[in-house]
Structure 1
Amino acid sequence: MTFDLSVAIPTYNGADRLPKLLEKLRSQFDTDRFSWEILIIDNNSTDSTAALIQDIQKSWNFPYPLRYCFEAEQGLAFARNRGITEAQGELVAFLDDDNHPDPDWVAQAYQFAQNHPQAGAFGGQIHGEFAISPPANFKRIESFLAIRERGSEPHLYQPQHLSLPPGAALVVRRQVWLDNVPKRLHLVGRIQGSMLAGEDYEALLYIHRAGWEIWYNPAMHTYHQIPPHRLEKSYLVSLIRGSSLCLCYLRMLNAKHWQKPLIFLRMILGSSKRILQHWLKSRRYPQTDLVATCEWEFLQSSLLSPFYYLLNLFPKKAEPECDISSKSA
């Protein structure tokens, strides 16, 4: 059976978070005009996620099915790829287990895809719901927590400048992903103590390279649940480091060979200049300034990113292993 849309939820030890998200999805309205499903991708959880979903399925009495699959290979990239493989919808709308969508989120996702047939992927507004209040100047670094509030008008992202939506609350055309995104990405997500990220951007850059547009849809609202530990300095510094060390690889991904030395040099010079400017400004800040510390980490890791690339931590560009059994319209 095929559907118009699949809501795919990668989760790791999400037994405490999934019930609230499923409640939000059961409250969706204006979905009678299309068919859809909910798919849980259990990414090797060690808690009671599997038993929880089995119990919910026993009493599930809704026109949209609730399905479950297990992905043993740890990493968000593997979970999302498994979601694409297992989904039966022409559109795949990803939600992390800590993203709570508005009641019209699914309907807005479906309608935007109908109105923008050249959109291979799109994301909406992601608002932060903080368990404790963040610092007053936290807005300067909130994007590292996948918060996106880019205004009330739809517009194209700019992948050439690494302006892209996060993987959370992202909607993609399934066949576009299958045709263009490798089954194994270089960037696989935060696993085994590593915070190296960028897997969502890598997938989107392959989609962009194939000529598809990537959009911002302000009518889709989700709310990222942010517990206290995600505002701790150790967590944020590690998160920002992992999000920044991959920048050179991402910039090189769709670059022509002659452009790569220029990108390499520009990243070093640009990062060095910004580090100097930041030091001249932030040396007046108290040592306890969380945001200044995070900004400093971003600049240092951005400067190191070209050397990560040069040291063959990303030795070979992956080529898509595509499912070409059917093409998108």
Structure 2
Amino acid sequence: MSSRATVSVVIPAYNEEETVARCLVALIEQTEPAEEILVVDNRSTDRTREIVEGLITAFPDAGIRLSSQNDEQGITPTRNAGFDAATGDLIGRIDSDSVVQADWVEQMRAAFAAEPEVAAISGPVDYYDMPLRSFGLHADDAVRKATVKLAGKYVFLFGSNMALRAGAWAAVRDSVCPDRADLMHEDLDLSVHLALAGLKVGYAPGMVAGISARRLDTSPRDFHFYVDRFERTYRAHDIHDPGALAPMAVLLGIYPMLHVQRKVEHRIEERRHATAD
């Protein structure tokens, strides 16, 4: 790229009044700001829209835009609407409870500039509601680097912390699966279609986002259904590569320990509140 790439950040949102302000403030306070921040509301019934509108008023130069996707309920059509509306050379994608580090946009630009052949990237995450955050980040980075090697050409994207070139989205937008039955990982489906189009998915270790570990609070049955989305996504595309399933094996392996840890933390927090009262 001869000049600095412009960046749009897409944030699908559904009833995220508790997290969306923190998410947006982290994007506003970047070392290199994004040109636009697109919050795509998907039939929220809480104060999500009101909070976003308040931040638009408070930070008129931050490039925050609020739109609606009311045709369908779901992350995939909401994400797609945001990608279609984005005007940047690069399109970042995070969740409304993601809290990106201060140099996230800068790291994104640098990663794409350093690897012109890469069409899309993911970065590591740290869990801001878990103890030992720095250790967790290093562990997550190590696991993601290992799974990238194992996955071969089917390197997966992580929707809570990813970006792709606008041209890559244009190349696959008409082929990505609508997944109206909500059985797949929408970010994994996107990465599969990029691979099938001959486009490379990479990994950017410096592009760090904080996310919630609330997924670990779900029951073993629900968590297993969530993880099984990997297999269902690959099966839907007739992909039977053992290496591609490496993330699934890792998640199932670490879940029992982390699930117990979360339970212990919740009990400690409950006791602390009870003592304070």
Superposed displacement of residue 160, structure 1: 4.8
The CA distance in 1 between the partners of 2:258 and 2:122, in whole Å, is 29
Measure, in 1, the Cα distance between the counterparts of 2:149 and 2:127.
21
Per the alignment, do residues 104 and 87 of structure 1 end up closer, same or farther by CA in structure 2, a change over 3 Å counting? same
Partners of 2:231 and 2:131 in 1: how far apart?
Answer: 30
**Partner of residue 217, structure 1:** 204
Distance in 2 (CA, whole Å) between partners of 1:206 and 1:200 is 10
How far is 1:59 from its partner? 2.5
SS in 2 for 1:220: coil
Q: Secondary structure at the match of 1:149?
A: helix
CA distance in 2, matches of 1:60, 1:290: 40
**Alignment partner of 1:206 is 2:193:** yes
Distance 2:40 2:9 in 1: 11
Separation in structure 2 between the aligned mates of residue 174 and residue 219 of structure 1, nearest angstrom: 21
Pair 1:107–1:210, CA change in 2 (3 A): same
Q: Which residue number in structure 2 is paired with residue 67 of structure 1?
A: 65
Cα shift at 1:232: 3.1
Q: For 2:129 and 2:87, how far apart are their aligned partners in 1?
A: 34
Q: Is the 8 A contact 1:28 1:104 kept in 2?
A: yes
Please tell me whether residue 187 in structure 1 is matched to residue 179 in structure 2: yes
Report the Cα offset of residue 103 of structure 1. 0.4
Evaluate the alpha carbon distance shift between residue 189 and residue 71 of structure 1 in structure 2; reply closer, same or farther with a 3 A threshold: farther
8 A contact 1:78–1:188 mirrored in 2: no
159, 181, 186: which one aligns with 1:167: 159
Residue 161 of structure 1, CA deviation:
7.2
User: Matched residues in 1 for 2:164 and 2:27: separation?
Assistant: 18
Task: Give 1:129 deviation, angstroms.
Answer: 2.3
Please give the per-residue CA displacement for 1:179-211, whole angstroms capped at 9, x wherever unaligned.
Answer: 213366143585xxxxx3311111111111111
TM value normalised by structure 1: 0.64
Aligned to 1:243: 227
Q: Is the 8 A contact 2:176 2:189 kept in 1?
A: no
Mapped contact 2:176–2:190 kept (Cα < 8 A): no
Amino acid aligned to 2:112 = A
Alignment of 1:273-288 (within 5 A): none
| 8 Å contact from structure 1 (residues 162, 251) kept in 2 | no
Is there any run of 5+ residues in structure 1 with no aligned partner, and where?
A: 134-138, 191-195, 256-262, 283-288, 295-329
How far apart are residue 46 of structure 1 and its match?
1.0
- Answer yes or no: is 1:8 the counterpart of 2:10: yes
TM-score by length of 2: 0.74
Q: Secondary structure at the match of 1:50?
A: helix
Q: Is the 8 A contact 1:154 1:218 kept in 2?
A: no
Larger radius of gyration: 1
In the TM superposition, residue 237 of structure 1 has moved relative to its aligned partner by: 2.7
| 1:15 counterpart SS class | coil
CA distance in 1 between counterparts of 2:24 and 2:194 reads 29
* Range that drifts further, 89-98 or 35-44: 35-44
1:276-303, Cα deviation, whole Å (9 max, x unpaired): xx9xxx9xxxxxx971899xxxxxxxxx
How many Å separate the matches in 1 of 2:148 and 2:169?
18
Correspondence 1:37-186 to 2 at 5 A: 37-62=36-61, 64-72=62-70, 73-130=72-129, 148-150=140-142, 159-160=151-152, 162-182=154-174, 185-186=177-178
C-alpha contact (below 8 Å) 1:126/1:221 kept by paired residues: yes
Q: CA deviation at 1:104?
A: 0.2
Separation in 1, partners of 2:206, 2:258 = 34
What's the C-alpha RMSD, in Å, of the aligned pairs?
A: 3.8
Query: What is the deviation of 1:102?
Result: 0.7
Distance in structure 2 (CA, Å) of the matches to 1:156 and 1:57? 38
Larger % of helix: which?
Answer: 2
Per the alignment, residue 226 of structure 1 pairs with 213
Shift of 1:242: 3.4
> Does the CA contact (< 8 Å) of 2:11 and 2:39 recur in 1?
yes
Change (3 A) 1:51 1:86: same
Deviation at 1:153, TM superposition (A): 7.7
| 3-state SS of 1:291 partner | helix
